A and B are shown apart, each in its own frame.
Chain A
């Protein structure tokens, strides 16, 4: 399908571009390991003093950290750089180059930049999930794996739609990128299960900045604690947000006045 060929092309371009700078690979490994030390070190200190955090066991929280790194890696690999590039294009009027291409502009804008070395984060996340699952092997079956995959896909869709809606605002408020920094800060709260936070913070992390759907909900799916009600909510929200983002995009792009106008 054309969509997938376009995505694959941009991935290849991203890889080719980054292979020139192999040092960045080692820098990324270093940063990913630091991130891992912070997350797992924090868990280690906490579990010196308790067996159970908000209903989660140590191995379950390790799986959560793995999902946190995996989703974070995916966001930083494609969504972040592409959206930042898009906002820069709107500011400088260079979005014209994207708009004249014979493919859907939303698709192009969403995958135009791929920071391939962030794949290290994704792989480390997968490895951590694998290790945690090995220790939890008794309780993970095919049902949980399927629910996890669905929840992960919905979480990624929700985050992408949320980012796109925010980025679309740059058609009107040209300096929006500051607001996106908020997401980065609040995402770090996703390292812990959202259920432990007080009511007001949980609300913010679920409906204002969708960190809960990105990390906690798939983790709950993996360990079999996700109710079908919440899974349905995640799916419904993913579909709704994707449609809203798409419609908002179509509406917003009419307000773009390019450099040539």
Chain B
């Protein structure tokens, strides 16, 4: 029986899923540690901004305490579903030549990482879902979703994931040229902290930073889906936002292809 490309890739994704389920079940303690890590940051900012709201007569910038609770819990969930970590791994993979093994496979290495990423998220959701419920009970967010924006939320979430994944993978490719990739990664995550809405809702940033966030991919990789989830995007901005996301998905995918081709050529040069 001749397998077509689709069944081949499907089998690969299924295999990755099984591997990663087994791995994660082994690392139960590590999961708990990791969980504390991903909820600490949003919870800290949630508390800080709630304090600001209370000190400013109840609300600031259109958010009251319950609004901030909804924003940061929503941001935590969206970030969990969209984040990418592969840029931290490729320095080792390329320097130690492990990439050679991946290049021998009958498919592009990006598929292995994509499958690992998705499998990891599905498995860790088992822990994130009850955690989110507990946070909702503790912080009592106010959530009034708008039907139209909720419909736009799902494609926005998928596109945000793709933007983070492709940008992260393109960043990982920098390891072909330099060993100081962790410095580049840190700058990227610094930008993400401020401009993707992890530190605060973007509407609370100074105007120039808000513009920078909208021009960069950062707003579209995290903040925009959260804004849709909370029903805070007005009218046609929903469509222009989805379009901006689509543009950034395309741009980051093109970047991945270009950088990969240039990098692999350089990598092969060392092998021979």
- On whether A50 and B60 interact (CB within 8 A), knowing A34-B190, A182-B33, A196-B47, the answer reads yes
Q: Which of B49-57, B144-152, B241-249 contacts A (4 or more CB under 8 A)?
A: B49-57
Q: Which of A8-16, A40-48, A85-93 contacts B (4 or more CB under 8 A)?
A: A40-48
Complex CA gap A42/B193 in Å reads: 10
B199 → chain A, closest Cβ, in Å? 6
Complex CA gap A45/B41 in Å reads: 16
- On whether A192 and B44 interact (CB within 8 A), knowing A37-B190, A45-B205, A50-B56, the answer reads yes
Q: Which residues of A contact B60 (CB under 8 A)?
A: 49-50
Q: Is A189 an interface residue (CB 8 A)?
A: yes
Q: Which of A46-90 contact B (CB under 8 A)?
A: 46, 48-54
Residues 178-215 of B, flagged 1 when their CB comes within 8 A of A and 0 if not, give 00100100110010011000011000111000000000
Q: Is A107 an interface residue (CB 8 A)?
A: no
B34 → chain A, closest Cβ, in Å? 9
Complex CA gap A51/B43 in Å reads: 22
- On whether A49 and B199 interact (CB within 8 A), knowing A182-B33, A186-B36, the answer reads no
- On whether A189 and B44 interact (CB within 8 A), knowing A41-B194, A182-B36, the answer reads yes
Complex CA gap A82/B41 in Å reads: 27
Q: Which residues of B contact A188 (CB under 8 A)?
A: 40-41, 44
- On whether A38 and B193 interact (CB within 8 A), knowing A45-B205, A181-B33, the answer reads yes
Chain B binding site: helix, strand, loop or mixed by DSSP? helix
Q: Which of A168-207 contact B (CB under 8 A)?
A: 175, 178-179, 181-182, 185-186, 188-189, 191-192, 196-198, 201
A201-B193 in contact (CB<8A):
no
- On whether A38 and B190 interact (CB within 8 A), knowing A49-B204, A178-B29, the answer reads yes
Q: How many cross-chain pairs have Cβ atoms below 8 Å apart between A and B?
A: 77
Q: Which of B51, B186, B204 contacts A45 (CB 8 A)?
A: B204
Complex CA gap A30/B184 in Å reads: 11
Q: Which residues of B contact A30 (CB under 8 A)?
A: 183, 186
B61-A34 in contact (CB<8A):
no
Q: Which residues of A contact B193 (CB under 8 A)?
A: 38
Residues 54-70 of B, flagged 1 when their CB comes within 8 A of A and 0 if not, give 01100011000000000
Complex CA gap A203/B133 in Å reads: 22
- On whether A192 and B48 interact (CB within 8 A), knowing A37-B190, A41-B194, A42-B199, the answer reads yes
Complex CA gap A31/B186 in Å reads: 8
Q: Is B30 an interface residue (CB 8 A)?
A: yes
B26 → chain A, closest Cβ, in Å? 12
Q: Is B37 an interface residue (CB 8 A)?
A: yes
B55-A52 in contact (CB<8A):
yes
A49-B52 in contact (CB<8A):
yes
| Nearest-CB residue, chain B, relative to A31 | B186
A48-B44 in contact (CB<8A):
no
A46-B52 in contact (CB<8A):
yes
A41 → chain B, closest Cβ, in Å? 6
Complex CA gap A211/B191 in Å reads: 27
Q: Is A27 an interface residue (CB 8 A)?
A: yes
| Nearest-CB residue, chain A, relative to B55 | A50
B118 → chain A, closest Cβ, in Å? 25
Q: Which residues of B contact A53 (CB under 8 A)?
A: 48, 51-52, 55
B126 → chain A, closest Cβ, in Å? 19
Complex CA gap A38/B56 in Å reads: 24
Complex CA gap A188/B37 in Å reads: 10
Complex CA gap A12/B178 in Å reads: 32
Complex CA gap A185/B48 in Å reads: 17
Q: Which residues of B contact A42 (CB under 8 A)?
A: 199
What are 29 A-B pairs with beta-carbon distances under 8 A?
A: A30-B183, A31-B183, A38-B193, A41-B199, A42-B199, A45-B194, A45-B199, A45-B200, A45-B206, A46-B49, A46-B52, A48-B204, A51-B55, A53-B48, A53-B51, A53-B55, A54-B51, A178-B29, A181-B37, A182-B36, A185-B36, A186-B40, A188-B40, A188-B41, A189-B40, A191-B44, A192-B44, A201-B43, A201-B47
Q: Nearest 5 pairs between A and B by C-beta? A: A185-B37, A50-B52, A49-B60, A196-B51, A181-B33
Interface residues of A (CB under 8 A from B): 27, 30-31, 34, 37-38, 41-42, 45-46, 48-54, 175, 178-179, 181-182, 185-186, 188-189, 191-192, 196-198, 201
Interface residues of B (CB under 8 A from A): 29-30, 33, 36-37, 40-41, 43-44, 47-49, 51-52, 55-56, 60-61, 138, 180, 183, 186-187, 190, 193-194, 199-200, 204-206
